[in-house]
Each structure stands twice: as C-alpha cells, then as structure tokens.
C-alpha cells in the first residue's frame, strides 16, 4: 500500500493496535539448529532476558509459534524439515535468519550445507554474526518489531488475495 492511496483512518488505527499486539507477543519456535541456538538460549536467559520484549515463550510446536528464528546451519538433509516447519506455522508469521549460516551458508561452502535459508523460506530480518551476540539478536528482533509496526494487517481483510501484509 503506497503512501498516496486513500486508506480509511479507522483501519490505520486498527492496524496500529493489531501490530502493537503482534510485535509485543511474538512466540518464537524453539528450533535451534547449531551454535547460534546457544546464543539464542542465552538471549532468553536471565541476563539478556528476551522476556522484556514478550518473546520468552518458546513453543516446541510450530502450530503455536509465529516467529521462526533459524538459528544455525541448515543442511540439505535438514532443509525439507525447515520448510515443513515453516509451512506448519499459521499466518501471520515472521522469519529471522540468525547467524551467517542461515544467511548464506556461513563458513561452510560445502556439499552438505544450504547456502542460505532464504532459498527455501522468505526471511524478514537477517542477523549477521558467527554467532551474533545476544545484543545483536535483540537488535535484530527489535528491527523485526519495527517492521511489524510498519505493516498493515487490515489489508488482508480488505484484500484477502494480498498475501502477507509486509
């Protein structure tokens, strides 16, 4: 939706309310793949306290999660499972590629590693690092929250064909 279009004021207020609720209660899927997972857990632990941002509720089941933090290397063997997990998550959902491996294969340009998770699922925020520090991950998540705040979920109500209100 471009800034020149006329959009009902009430709906923009509704957008703000919905995105406020969404961004402050993201439930991450507990799927750490490799080393980045440890820093993800450290981010959730007492010192860096991801609960400040409403994200402490890591869900084991993709059906209950709306944030997929791909933390670690995605191998070719694991790729179909990552894809399936993404598909099992219900809309609206977001993906954070955490770490260099998830962004582009990282230090592993080998026969076994998928060179970037965005080859199989759409990624909203890339957090670089090997591994990114908890501060780095939090910065990435805050960036995601800003992205969500700028989105227009009510567009999906008006135009159901417009998949993804990003």
Partner 1 sequence: MPEDLASRRELKAVQEAMAARFGPAVIETAFKLGELTFKIAKDELRPALEFLKSRLGLDTLDDIIGLDNSRSVPAGGKRFSVLYQLRRAPGPLRLRLAVDLAEDETVASAVPVFTSADWGEREIYDMLGIRFDGHPGLRRIYLSEDFAGHPLRKDFPLAGDDDGV
Partner 2 sequence: MAFKEIELNMGPQHPSTHGVLRLKLAVDNEVVLRIEPVLGYLHRGMEKLWENLSYVQGVPLTDRLDYLASLSNNLAFVLTVEKLAGLEVPKRAHYIRVILAELQRLASHLAWVGFMANDIGAVSVLLYGFEARETIMDIFEEYAGGRLTVHGIRVGGVVEDLDDKVIGMIRGALVEIPKRVRDIQLLLSENRIWKQRTAGIGVISAAQALEYGLTGPALRATGVRRDLRRDIPYSSYEDFDFDIPLGTRGDIYDRYQVRIEEIFQSLRIIDQAVDNLPPGEIRARVPRVLKIPPAEAFQTIEAPKGELGFFMKSNGTDKPERVKMKAPSFINLQSLELMCKGNLFSDVVGILGSLDIVLGEVDK
Least distance CB 133 / partner 1 (angstroms): 29
Is 111 a residue that touches partner 1 (CB under 8 A)? yes
Task: Give the span between the Cα atoms of 35 and 151, in whole angstroms.
Answer: 32
In the list partner 1, partner 2, none, the entry touching 120 (Cβ below 5 to 8 angstroms by class) is partner 1
Is 90 a residue that touches partner 2 (CB under 8 A)? no
* Residue whose CB is less far from partner 2, 38 or 142: 38
Least distance CB 125 / partner 2 (angstroms): 20
- Percent helix, strand, coil in the chain, to 5, is 45, 10, 45
Candidates 120, 128, 129, 156: give the one binding partner 1 (CB under 8 A).
120
From residue 145, give the alpha-carbon distance in Å to each of 63, 67, 109, 135.
Answer: 21, 11, 32, 15
Is 84 a residue that touches partner 1 (CB under 8 A)? no
Per-residue tokens: 103: 């962004």
Is 33 a residue that touches partner 1 (CB under 8 A)? no
Is 81 a residue that touches partner 1 (CB under 8 A)? no
Is 14 a residue that touches partner 2 (CB under 8 A)? no
Conformational region of residue 110, where left means phi above 0, alpha means psi within -120 to 50, and beta covers everything else: beta
The secondary structure of 32-96 as a DSSP string is: B-SHHHHHHHHHHSTTT-GGGGT----BSSGGG-SEEEEES--BTTTHHHHHHHHHHSPSS-EEE
Is 118 a residue that touches partner 1 (CB under 8 A)? no
Least distance CB 121 / partner 1 (angstroms): 12
> Taking CB under 8 A as the criterion, which residues in 128-147 touch partner 2?
130-131, 133
């Amino acid at each position: 939706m471009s800034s020149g279009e006329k959009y009902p004021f009430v709906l923009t207020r509704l957008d703000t309310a919905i995105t406020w609720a969404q961004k402050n209660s993201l439930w991450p899927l507990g799927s750490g793949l490799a080393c980045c997972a440890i820093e993800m857990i450290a981010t959730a632990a007492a010192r860096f306290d991801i609960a400040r941002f409403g994200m402490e509720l890591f869900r084991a089941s993709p059906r209950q999660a709306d944030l997929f933090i791909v933390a670690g290397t995605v191998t070719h063997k694991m790729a179909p499972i990552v894809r399936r997990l993404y598909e099992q998550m219900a809309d609206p959902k977001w993906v954070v590629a955490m770490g260099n491996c998830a962004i582009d294969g990282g230090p592993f340009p080998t026969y076994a590693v998928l060179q970037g998770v965005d080859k199989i699922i759409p990624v909203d925020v890339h957090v670089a690092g090997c591994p990114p520090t908890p501060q780095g991950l939090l910065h990435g998540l805050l960036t995601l929250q800003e992205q969500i705040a700028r989105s227009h979920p009510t567009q999906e109500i008006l135009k159901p064909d417009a998949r993804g209100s990003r």
